[in-house]
Amino acid sequence: MKTLLIKVDPENPSAEALAPAAEILKRGGTVVFPTETVYGLGGDATHSESAEKIYAAKGRPSDNPLIIHISKPEEAEPYAETNKLWHRLARHFMPGPLTVILPKKDTIPLTVTGGLDSVAVRCPAHPVALKLIELTGLPVAAPSANISGKPSPTCAAHVIEDLDGRVDCIIDGGECTFGVESTIVKITGEDSLILLRPGAVTYDALCCVCSDVTVSDTVMNKLKENERPLCPGSKYRHYAPEKPLTLVGGSEEARISYFAERQKEGAVIICYDEQAEHLESHSVITVGKKDDLEAQGHRLFAALRECDSLEGRCVYANLPSTDGFGLALYNRLIRAAAHTVVYPDQL
């Protein structure tokens, strides 16, 4: 199919520029749009056929449910059973990078939720996403706009690389702010939830609003054999570059000399700006200063894509700390590396 490309002002998109995209969604087509986390591949969430088109475009297994995007928290009511905790989360974090899983209502077809009786709801904080949803008057189902298994796209060039010719429209709204996908929580009671995927709304921030926050085992650890995860997406290979990736932990000194040795053997190194000063400049991809987690999040998926275009057999990157936003980076990288970690201090 021929994909329509629309470029808009990310801060102040005009209704006129977005109108063709809204029409496509209303007619059951697929539109890629920017959010503050990553780009999403949208379709009408009340329509089974739109969901099927999304799964087909991504090459995604249809048992992996989609998030529905709304422009105001109140719009969740026709589609999900909300409770007091939902309203508290909405007041504190919406619009923003938080997705909440609630029992679903019949208005959302089972094709959208991968057969589950729950639905994931998110109100994104991006002017383009919000205006587009408003113009359609629909909840918009959208997974990340990458081919299944690849890192999520954080700019239009990544989307075009993966989905040009596979979707009806791509809206170019520049680079995404956070660069990692939303935090996902599942509400389990009036004051309890489970953190299923960490993102920019951190564990500590959730604890300020809810007194019983459990972190799902799959956030940091490998799934056990035959285990069915609460978040179906966590059972699939994800985020991984084509080249094998190994994470490097331990002291700063040991990491730097380990990176230098591996680089001499022909590896690609993803590292902090400060570490790059101790390495040759070829085959190095920097993601920001060591303490600047926001910059690292913003650059992470672009770096994972970039390493495949550089020469080298394999890739090494820092094992992030699990504090604050670091947990989101840890969660993505540990899966991209299929849990392969080395500690050179201990070798």
Residues engaged in binding Mg ion (CB under 5 A): 144
CB of 128 to ligand TXA, least distance (A): 12
Given Mg ion, ligand TXA, none, residue 31, with its beta carbon under 5 to 8 Å by kind, binds none
- The residue (of 50 and 275) whose beta carbon lies closer to Mg ion is 50
CA 91 centroid distance within chain: 22
- Name the one range near ligand TXA by CB under 6 A: 15-23, 62-70, 201-209, 316-324: 62-70
Q: Is 311 exposed, middle or buried (0-12, 13-18, 19+ CB in 10 A)?
A: exposed
- The residue (of 182 and 318) whose beta carbon lies closer to Mg ion is 182
Q: Are 202 and 327 in contact (CB under 8 A)?
A: yes
Question: Site for ligand TXA (CB under 6 A): which residue of 50, 99, 136, 286?
Answer: 99
Separation between Cα atoms, residue 47 and residue 39, nearest integer Å: 21
Question: Site for ligand TXA (CB under 6 A): which residue of 24, 25, 30, 35?
Answer: 35
Given ligand TXA, Mg ion, none, residue 43, with its beta carbon under 5 to 8 Å by kind, binds none
Separation between Cα atoms, residue 185 and residue 192, nearest integer Å: 10
Closest CA to 140 of 179, 112, 115: 112
- The residue (of 136 and 148) whose beta carbon lies closer to Mg ion is 148
- Name the one range near ligand TXA by CB under 6 A: 142-150, 247-255, 312-320, 336-344: 142-150
- The residue (of 113 and 286) whose beta carbon lies closer to ligand TXA is 113
Give the pairing of strands 183-189 and 98-103: parallel
Contact between 195 and ligand TXA by CB under 6 A: the answer reads: no
Question: Site for ligand TXA (CB under 6 A): which residue of 10, 28, 109, 232?
Answer: 232
CB of 188 to ligand TXA, least distance (A): 12
- The residue (of 35 and 286) whose beta carbon lies closer to ligand TXA is 35
CB of 90 to ligand TXA, least distance (A): 16
Contact between 64 and ligand TXA by CB under 6 A: the answer reads: yes
286 forms beta bridges with: 271
- The residue (of 186 and 255) whose beta carbon lies closer to Mg ion is 186
Give the pairing of strands 40-44 and 31-33: antiparallel
Residue environment code for 162-199, b if the CB has 16+ CB neighbours within 10 A, otherwise e: bbeebbbbbbbbeebbbbbbbbbbbbeeeeebbbbbbb
CB of 3 to ligand TXA, least distance (A): 18
Contact between 76 and ligand TXA by CB under 6 A: the answer reads: no
- Name the one range near ligand TXA by CB under 6 A: 75-83, 115-123, 277-285, 286-294: 115-123
Count the residues in the chain: 347
Contact between 139 and ligand TXA by CB under 6 A: the answer reads: no
CB of 181 to ligand TXA, least distance (A): 4
The binding site for ligand TXA (CB under 6 A) comprises 35, 37-38, 40, 64-67, 99, 101, 113, 116, 118-120, 122, 124, 142-144, 181-182, 184, 230-233
